[in-house]
Structure 1
Amino acid sequence: MQLTGKPFLILTILLVPVSIAVAMLLWGRVRGSRAVQALARLIMLLFCQATAVTLVFVLVNNANLLYGSWDDLLGSDSHVRSVAVPPADAVGGGADAKAQAKVLQQFKAIDDPAVPSDVQTTDLKGRLSGVDGEVNVWLPPQYNDPAYKDKKFPVVELLPGFPGSSKTWFGTLKVSEQLKPLMQSGQVAPFILVSPRTQLLGTGTDSGCADVPGKINADTWLSRDVPQMILDNFRADPSASRWAVAGYSAGAHCASRLALEHPDRYRAGISMSGYNDPAAEPDSLTAKDPHLREIANPLYVLTHAATPPNVALYEAGDAGDGYEAGQALAKAAKAPTTVTVVETTGPHTPALWKPMVPQVFKWLTGIIPAQP
């Protein structure tokens, strides 16, 4: 029974009145000593409370897709197969010169009623990173139009927060549903949208989207394996000028850093309620080591680049929740790096990020237009 599926939701709804009815029916029928009766009634009360708390959790999780599966929730699902040292990086917008022959993936519709049926998913074995995980893909309305049969499309990687499911952008933020009419009207470029798994460690630890020797190659998974798979299987434009990465919360931190660290792969990074210091996420692997904490900071990456990266950043945040981080990046940026800082007002929840999607992608269309 799926954690986010309707059957489990219906079960949790039914268990609440059932637990109350059972307690009311058996309350006066408990036999034995006073201690036994007290214990039995305490168990009944705890069962009622447990069913109510479970229902609230399921409703919140289904609305926000914090955990996409039982393994994610229980922290028992590690997606790290190996942690070999990745081969030297290659230049070129997601295309890796050292990649082997194309590997064609089998795609299927996501089995989740919260996600649109036109979102495809596949299980990818990262050849360079040693990471395995699902990757969700949505194709713009122009993709299957005969008039575009010879066109290659720009790509945006979408990163969730922590904890967060690879389905959250499509299920909770409704990114494809919001953007489809804007793409059809020409207000937003026809981007291929890609949402890979970022919750990779079975311990419940955030990878920080970084390559951590001996632990995980999360950066390589996101910036090399996933893009290469998209290039192998779809008409995606391979040039760095046609790729972007976007995220919210912990995913926003990752988006800023990946864009700045890999200007040969990404033209733009979008951060919604992000942060610079990895320690803002106490469960981040990169926050636990002083050196990793320093070099995984997007501000450090920007100020220590050999030359200013040709990257456009969109930094949106509220005071104390991303705004100051964006201002710090804007202050440190030198041409050709550009930083657009937008002040928001609202809680650190999808209720803030969901309505931001159209304006964010209209901005991105100004950076990566429909035609190069």
Structure 2
Amino acid sequence: MGLTSWGLLGLLVLATAACFGATVRAWPRAAATGVRAAGTRLALLLGCQLAVLLTLLVSVNGHYLFYGSWTDLAGAAGGGARVQGRGAANPRAAAVTQVVRTVRAGLGPARGGGRDPARDGQVEHLDIRGVRTGIASEAYVYLPAQYFQPAYAARRFPVVVLLAGYPAADRKVWISKGHIPRDAADATAAGRVQPMIYVMMRPTVRNGWDTECADVPGGPAVETFFAQDVPEAIATTYRTPDDRRGWGLAGYSTGGYCAAKLALLHSDRFAAAVSMAGHFEALLDPTTRALYGGSRALRRSSDLTWRLRNLPQPPVSILVASADVGEKTFPSARRFMAAARPPLVVDSVLLRTGGHNFKTFRMYIPPSLRWLSARLRAS
């Protein structure tokens, strides 16, 4: 029974109701004096409270998708989930990043009877194994309808790499909650955005570890994976631009930090990035573990505001999407925007109020797609 399944939640609701029923029935007999009766009453109360707590936790997790499976939960608790990380080089490995491509029916928009890629576009699933990093991860790719139309057969489409927050337990979160295929198809059909390829991923490559898209000393080289292995995987699989002007990034929460970081540090690969409710400092907390190997210099170099204040600024464009009230990362975003100077260009989409949740993230997505469309070039 899955961690986010309705079956588990229903079972817990029934168990909670049964616990309350048993308490009501047994309470008269437990109302006597004495240690045994007091212990019975305590056990009844604690059992009901535990049942209510578990029901609430499973319900909240099902809504916000903090953990999508028992494996994800075990990984967050320090369990031994199977992961792929940076390892010793394999002399027999392929010379390029390996990709397994599969069409995933039913995940994209449908505007008529049946599904026609030339009308609706198409969602595909990629299994990617980075040749440089050894990291294995997956991506969902939405190809616009124009990708399959004869009039666009020679077109190389701009690419937007979308990075989820941490832990993004739902691997299809950009589809299930972000509605990217549907929104992108509608915006393209209406002429609000140009046809683009959307690569939907999560930055969590090791369950229970928020790596902040860093090349971790002695750990996975996540920055290199997203800056080199992933673009190579997409470029060798689809018709994409040959230069940086056709490549952009976007993300929410931790993914927003990753998007801005990758654009700033790899301006040779990416031209633009959107940070939706992302932070801009180098976090260090229990979820990141000893991320920077105790190196103050390494952590400082991952502080994006510090980089703007102390290092030459790269020729990229960054869109900061945040909210004045209710968004915990807004002070960090404000410091980042204040430190920007040419050739870096920083724009903003600021809501008056908005929480750090998908209800608010959804408000950032349409203007973010339009902003990226105006800055990325097909070829």
TM category, shorter: 0.7 to 0.9
The aligned counterpart of 1:148 is: 152
In structure 2, distance between residues paired with 1:197 and 1:148 = 30
In structure 1, distance between residues paired with 2:106 and 2:26 = 40
Is the CA contact (8 Å cut-off) linking 1:109 and 1:121 kept in structure 2? yes
Structure 1 position 359 matched with structure 2 position 367? yes
Higher alpha-carbon deviation: 251-260 or 234-243: 234-243
Unaligned segments of structure 1, at least 5 residues: 87-97
Q: Give the number of aligned pairs.
A: 354
32 and 78 in structure 1: CA distance in 2 versus 1, 3 angstrom threshold = farther
Structure 1 position 175 matched with structure 2 position 186? no
Structure 1 position 350 matched with structure 2 position 345? no
Q: Deviations over 1:70-122 (max 9, x none)?
A: 22222232534334599xxxxxxxxxxx972573404364999xxxx965434
In structure 2, distance between residues paired with 1:213 and 1:40 = 53
Is the CA contact (8 Å cut-off) linking 1:172 and 1:350 kept in structure 2? yes
The aligned counterpart of 1:92 is: none
Whichever residue aligns with residue 261 of structure 1, its letter is: L
Whichever residue aligns with residue 95 of structure 2, its letter is: Q
Equivalences for 1:48-63 in 2 at 5 Å? 48-63=48-63
In structure 2, distance between residues paired with 1:177 and 1:78 = 33
Residue 346 of structure 1, CA deviation: 1.7
Is the CA contact (8 Å cut-off) linking 1:260 and 1:302 kept in structure 2? no
Match among 296, 304, 320 for residue 302 of structure 2? 296
Residue 304 of structure 1, CA deviation: 5.3
Q: Deviations over 1:225-263 (max 9, x none)?
A: 222222233333342111111112222111111100001
Q: Deviations over 1:272-310 (max 9, x none)?
A: 2222211376633546642222011123444555x5422
Specify the SS of the correspondent of 1:237.
coil
Higher alpha-carbon deviation: 189-198 or 274-283: 274-283
Is the CA contact (8 Å cut-off) linking 2:165 and 2:202 kept in structure 1? no
Percent identity among equivalent residues? 30
Residue 317 of structure 1, CA deviation: 2.3
Specify the SS of the correspondent of 1:341.
strand
The aligned counterpart of 1:269 is: 273
360 and 106 in structure 1: CA distance in 2 versus 1, 3 angstrom threshold = closer
Structure 1 position 226 matched with structure 2 position 230? yes
In structure 1, distance between residues paired with 2:318 and 2:133 = 26
The aligned counterpart of 1:314 is: 319
TM-score by length of structure 1 reads 0.81
Residue 153 of structure 1, CA deviation: 1.9
Whichever residue aligns with residue 54 of structure 2, its letter is: T
The aligned counterpart of 2:111 is: none
Structure 1 position 258 matched with structure 2 position 232? no
104 and 216 in structure 1: CA distance in 2 versus 1, 3 angstrom threshold = closer
Equivalences for 1:73-84 in 2 at 5 Å? 73-75=73-75, 76=79, 77=81, 79-83=83-87
TM-score by length of structure 2 reads 0.80
In structure 1, distance between residues paired with 2:201 and 2:253 = 16
Unaligned segments of structure 2, at least 5 residues: 108-114, 116-121
Q: Deviations over 1:29-73 (max 9, x none)?
A: 779995455444444433333332233223322322222222222
Specify the SS of the correspondent of 1:270.
strand
The aligned counterpart of 1:100 is: 95
Equivalences for 1:1-372 in 2 at 5 Å? 1-27=1-27, 35-75=35-75, 76=79, 77=81, 79-83=83-87, 100-101=95-96, 103-107=98-102, 109=104, 119-165=123-169, 166-202=171-207, 204-279=208-283, 283-284=287-288, 285-286=290-291, 289-303=295-309, 305=311, 308-319=313-324, 321-344=328-351, 345-369=353-377, 371-372=378-379
Specify the SS of the correspondent of 2:297.
helix
Whichever residue aligns with residue 292 of structure 1, its letter is: L
In structure 2, distance between residues paired with 1:143 and 1:200 = 29
In structure 2, distance between residues paired with 1:331 and 1:169 = 30
Specify the SS of the correspondent of 1:269.
strand
Larger radius of gyration: 2
81 and 323 in structure 1: CA distance in 2 versus 1, 3 angstrom threshold = closer
In structure 2, distance between residues paired with 1:103 and 1:209 = 20
25 and 130 in structure 1: CA distance in 2 versus 1, 3 angstrom threshold = farther
41 and 167 in structure 1: CA distance in 2 versus 1, 3 angstrom threshold = farther
Q: Deviations over 1:145-187 (max 9, x none)?
A: 3433333222211222223234333222323333321122121
In structure 2, distance between residues paired with 1:272 and 1:280 = 20
Residue 271 of structure 1, CA deviation: 0.8
Is the CA contact (8 Å cut-off) linking 2:166 and 2:255 kept in structure 1? yes
Is the CA contact (8 Å cut-off) linking 1:277 and 1:293 kept in structure 2? no
Whichever residue aligns with residue 173 of structure 2, its letter is: T
99 and 327 in structure 1: CA distance in 2 versus 1, 3 angstrom threshold = farther
The aligned counterpart of 2:112 is: none
Specify the SS of the correspondent of 1:255.
helix
367 and 289 in structure 1: CA distance in 2 versus 1, 3 angstrom threshold = same
